Amino acid sequence: MVWPFKPKKRKQIARVEITGAIASETRKRLLKAFKTIEEAKYPALLLRIDSPGGTVGDSQEIYAALKRLREKGVKVVASFGNISASGGVYVGVGADKIVANPGTITGSIGVILRGNNLERLLDKIGVSFKTVKSGPYKDILAFDREATPEELHILQELIDTSYQQFVETVASERNLAVETVKTFADGRVFTGQQALALGVIDRLGTEEDARRWTAELVGLDPEKTKCTTIEEKKSRLSRLLSGQTQSKPRFHSALNWVEFELSTSGQPLWLYRP
């Protein structure tokens, strides 16, 4: 993965996309892009987000990297596309400003962890497992048995801790009280228009509106300012293969997002494990 050297970009703004589920590859790509933006001296970043969420750690690391970029003097505006939910929101609140379409699907501020219990099915077909483990909770959420009350308590504490981190981050970045955020941070999704009323975003508008605002925030003429998308250089073979096979799902509507939810046992929103 090579990022070509670029001359100083004081009169341009950078653009980076987050598309699909947020996972380790997303994090690696974005951290390299942020480094390029810092080294090339771009004054601002337009971050386009079209994602239903993703893994906890990766979302938190991208958010932290955005904060560091802002500390270096780079203005960041997030533009929410068709969907920016859960981990997409966590990343988005790391920006200085957030713009969403009126019909953008956003929210889903919460944490989910889901397991499968196939014990009855396995009994019917005569399949059983013998487990040797180092501790009582090493096979927590095993699919061949019911979870014990003690295991459920451990998992609930894990969920509650991650949820509190999420809520406190949204509250801090959006200048809202924690208790206020909790009134709508119950896993529900809402539109961009509703998000504006709740204080989750700053303005309604398209990506073009967000681009123009980004330029204005750093004193550049939105009519003349070039917006450069920062992306990885790929070989011709890689581009050909990526056009034929989609290893990561792309989300272009709420329906696609629901289908992805069903295909992954409901785990993509914030605590999805790919």
Q: Is residue 216 part of a domain?
A: yes
Question: Would you state the pLDDT for residue 107?
Answer: 94
C-beta of residue 63 within 8 angstroms of C-beta of residue 26: no
- For residue 114, tell me if it sits in a domain: no
Catalytic residue among 8, 133, 138, 248: 138
Please give the mean pLDDT across all residues of the chain.
83
207: domain range?
A: 12-108+177-263
- Residue 214's pLDDT band, with cuts at 50, 70 and 90, is very high
Exposure class string for 113-145: b at 16+ Cβ within 10 A, else e: beeeeeeeeeeeeeeeeeeeeeeeeeebebebb
Q: What is the pLDDT of residues 97-124, one digit of tens each?
A: 999 999 999 999 988 877 788 878 878 8
Cβ neighbours, 10 Å, residue 67: 14
DSSP 136: T
Q: Is residue 50 assigned to a domain? A: yes
> CA 257, 262, 267, 273 torsion: positive or negative?
negative
For residue 95, the domain's CATH number is 3.90.226.10
Q: Is residue 73 part of a domain?
A: yes
Number of domain units in the chain:
1
Q: Is 86 a catalytic residue?
A: yes
Give the Å distances, CA to CA, from 134 to 141, 142, 157, 265. Answer: 16, 15, 22, 28
154 occurs within a structural domain: no
Answer whether residue 274 is part of any domain.
no
Instruction: Spot the catalytic one: 51, 79, 86, 162.
Output: 86
In a domain, 153, yes or no: no
Q: In the chain, which residue ranges form alpha helices assigned H by DSSP? A: 24-39, 56-71, 87-92, 119-125, 149-173, 178-182, 192-198, 207-217, 236-244, 254-263
Residue 214: phi, psi to the nearest 5? -55, -45
CA 203 to CA 209: how far, in whole Å? 9
Query: For the segment 152-184, what is each residue's pLDDT rounded down to a tens digit?
Result: 899 899 889 989 999 999 999 999 999 999 999
Domain membership flag for residue 100: yes
Say how far apart CA 53 and CA 62 lie, in whole Å: 12
Interatomic CA distance for residues 109 and 26, integer angstroms? 20
pLDDT for residue 93 is more than 70: yes
Clarify whether 138 is annotated catalytic.
Answer: yes
